Amino acid sequence: MDRNDYPGPCPKYGPFSLAVVLLLTVLCCAHASPDERQFARSEIPIPLQLQIFLKIVTYDRSFDQDKPGPFRVGVFLKNTGEGGVESTFRQVSEVLSKKTILGRPLSPVKIVMRNGVFPKIGQLPDMLVLIGNWDEDGEKVAEYARKKKLVTFGSSIPLLESGIVVVLTLDGDRPVIHVNLNEARAVGADFHANFLKHCQVVR
């Protein structure tokens, strides 16, 4: 459904709903692809996670598409497993280099937490993506994001409880988007209700 117009008598499932359904379908298909299994067996592959997160950002009314410069994606890397942080970041960079978001080019920003301390970042990113196992430090990231008014994206349920705004998990073969609505509003995110109704919303 168009945001600005109500079409009157029409099918109940508008373009918005169809897009979300299509997104979930892509997630299912991508999860089944054998080339992506090398990144994580129990999680959604990182490139696909990035694509989904970038898509979810577009449902945030606070997203400023007219802001000059590239859209900076902050990538928190920790315990990425085989290949190390650098290898994972390269992967992420390759994926983001091929994408745009509402016409804005993407620019990855590597953020590595050392000894529980965040590094100083010159220019703040527009969003934060947690890659790797951040279950223990999730609250710190959430607090940081809350201060910086940044929307955070993760991939495990404990992160959601820690205060990460959007978490992507698997329910069997079905991907599930979890949204922490209070945290979202705390960081200034304004997700459309029709998006939220397809998500697992936690208040």
Partner 1 sequence: MKPLGWLYRSPLQTQLRVMLLAAIIPGVLILGVFAGIREHSIIRKNFQLKTEELVDLAAYNMAPGVEFEDLQALNEVVNGLTRRGEVAYVLVTDRTGRAMASFHPEQASINSWKTDFSTSPIESRDDGRTLHLRHRLSFNQRFLGVLYMGFTLDQINAQLFFNHLVVAAVVLLTMVIIAFSARRIGRMITAPIEALKRLAEKLSQQNYSSPPVSMEAAQEIEFLAHTFNEMVRAIQERQNELRVLNQTLEQKVTERTKLLEIETHKAQQSERLKSEFLSNMSHELRTPLTSILAWPDLILEHYERKQDVMTGAAQIKKTAQHLLRLINDLLDMEAIDTGRMRIEPVLTDITPLVSEVMQHMRGYAINRDVTIEMNLLNPLPPLVIDGDRLKQVLINLLSNAVKFSRKSGKVELFASADEREISIRVVDHGVGISEEDLKYIFDRFRQVDGSIRRRYGGSGVGLYLVKSLVTMMGGTVEVTSGLGEGSCFLATFPLPGMVAPADLEPASQPPEPPVPGNEKG
Which chain residues interact with partner 1 by CB under 8 A? 1, 3-10, 12, 14, 61, 181, 190-194, 196-197, 201
Helix, strand, coil shares, percent, the chain, to 5: 35, 25, 40
Q: 125-148 as b/e, with b when 16 or more CB fall inside 10 Å?
A: bbbbbbbbbbbebbbbbbebbbee
Geometric angle at alpha carbon 157, from 48 and 123, rounded to 5°:
60
User: For 158, how many CA atoms within 13 A lie in the half-sphere containing its CB?
Assistant: 8
Tell me the residue type at 161: E
Q: Whose Cβ is closer to partner 1: residue 13's or residue 97's?
A: 13
The total of other beta-carbon atoms located within 10 Å of residue 61's CB is 10
Closest distance to partner 1 from the beta carbon of 183 (Å): 14
CB 21 to partner 1: min, Å: 15
Decide whether 14 or 158 has the Cβ nearer to partner 1. Answer: 14
CB 203, min distance to partner 1, A: 9
20/30 with CB nearer partner 1 = 20
In the complex, minimum distance from the CB of residue 99 to partner 1, in angstroms, rounded to a whole number: 27
